[in-house]
Structure 1
């Protein structure tokens, strides 16, 4: 299977083809994707919670991302590889440039940066000018947990909606190659997707985005408390007894428009 590229994701958007992405952290799980229809893998700073058991992502460091990036790049999966830029690496341009360049050198194809209320707009703009391929991340931005106070759906009031619209259009104008939209009210996401020409990938933001992403542990049912799933998660554990089948079902349910459905959406 040919390597998925940024141009391929733009083509999917143009053709209105829905696709899946997965957040994963190790060789074994990513090896499952070799013959499966997953288009992108995110080495997310969520590893600080999922893998290391911490309460937030803020203390994720570059060494953590590098370690797990090296683990997944050793597979022969054709997926586009996205790497998170940790919070501690994003606040100064020189640090962000050095860290992003290293992640690209080690196998990442795209660097994801969380942006909130234009806090990092100048840094993102300068990174793009240095030919760093950047993916923005808006809405619920876990790195800003001390500002947003808790994990709630974003864009449910007029003020917040306008901020998200402005942020999204600014990021596109700066030259980012894609946008992850997390836990944003679905009516606003529909509007965003219509306005943006760059690919969008959603989590907890309804079906309008070009792609959907979930953490692999959620897809296969490895959870702390299976009785308290986030509203946007669907575990495919009950639909098969084979792990590789979970990923296939996840991907195909997105392509066919079965997921996310009304039970996974907050209007």
Structure 2
């Protein structure tokens, strides 16, 4: 299993693989096959049909993180800190401590750059491992008026690099870069010594993450440009369900071999 030390040592080596999971069943499938599992607040959209991630709560995230930890015994697990749970150092420490005490996660993830550096430092100073997150930040969607790709303008590029350095200096062991122009994400990766994990940020980062329901075609409402579907899961489940319904209605199931 990856550790903080081995993750940090992966900088500029074989790319790190991270995927989301929200329950023990899928976590057990992903266990040992990926380097890290993120229990993302993306579950609020993918599985709760919410318009954004903002209404996810601490209780919800701990519940799902605990389930993932039960299913994936040999994979490094990160819990997304939901909106409003790290507004200041005291609040962040209280909530992140709950994650450690109640779920078994190895780290937490926090969105924000320089403005969150003091909060990240408060956590790392108290032995809580933190993964940073800059660029397009889903928890900022309402204040920014939508999901906007970053790094198109010079001032944005400068700020992104400053944010990355501030997060690193605050003690984060790794950094997610989301929705950033590929060349800029690569420049950010070169500017810091901790590994970067890209999502919609090109191949120049130190690893990649995808939401599992996007990657395997179960979330069918829309497909972001950065998502590659490795399976048409929605269609396969529909076909299997249709077969089950048909066999029940025609009494083909259960057959003799399924009967005591």
Same fold by TM (over 0.5)?
A: yes
What is residue 29 of structure 1 aligned with on the other side?
Answer: 26
Q: Which has the higher contact order (CA 8 A, sep 6+)?
A: 1
Alpha-carbon distance, 1:35 to partner: 4.9
Matched, 1:51 2:47: yes
Q: Given the superposition, is the C-alpha separation of residues 58 and 238 from structure 1 closer, same or farther in structure 2, using an over 3 Å criterion?
A: closer
Q: TM-score, normalised by structure 1?
A: 0.83
Name the residue aligned to 1:211.
Answer: 207
How many Å separate the matches in 1 of 2:31 and 2:209?
17
- Is the partner of 1:52 in helix, strand or coil? coil
> Considering only aligned residues, what root-mean-square deviation do their CA atoms show, in Å?
1.9
* Correspondence 1:151-162 to 2 at 5 A: 151-162=147-158
Contact 1:33-1:77 within 8 A present in 2 as well? no
Aligned residue among 2, 6, 9 for 2:7: 9
Alpha carbons 2:107, 2:129 under 8 Å: kept: yes
**Which stretch shows the higher mean deviation, 128-137 or 206-215?**
128-137
TM-score by length of 2: 0.85
> For the structure 1 residues 76 and 129, does the alpha-carbon distance in structure 2 shift closer, same or farther, using more than 3 Å as the test?
closer
For residues 83 and 187 of structure 2, the distance between their equivalents in structure 1, rounded to whole angstroms, comes to: 29
The Cα shift of 1:101 comes to: 1.1
Task: Note the 1:1-267 alignment, pairs <5 A.
Answer: 3-14=1-12, 16-36=13-33, 38-105=34-101, 106-116=103-113, 118-225=114-221, 228-237=222-231
Deviation (angstroms), 1:127: 1.8
* Secondary structure at 1:45 match in 2: coil
Conserved? CA contact 1:21–1:40, under 8 Å: yes
Shift of 1:31: 1.2
User: How far apart, CA to CA, are the structure 1 residues paired with 2:49 and 2:236?
Assistant: 26
Separation (CA, whole Å) in 2 of partners of 1:35 and 1:127:
27
Per-residue CA deviation, residues 55-107 of structure 1 (Å, 9 max, x unaligned), is 01111110010110111111244211000111111102222101111112221
The 2-side partners of 1:8 and 1:204 are apart by 24
- SS of 2:29's partner is helix
Q: Say whether the 8 Å CA contact 2:4–2:173 is kept in structure 1.
A: yes
Q: Take 1:35 and 1:162, find their aligned partners in 2: how far apart are those partners?
A: 37
State the partner residue of 1:265: none
SS in 1 for 2:152: coil
Larger Rg: 2
Are the aligned partners of 2:81 and 2:108 in contact in 1 as well (CA < 8 Å)? Answer: yes
Work out the CA distance in 2 between the residues paired with 1:174 and 1:94: 16
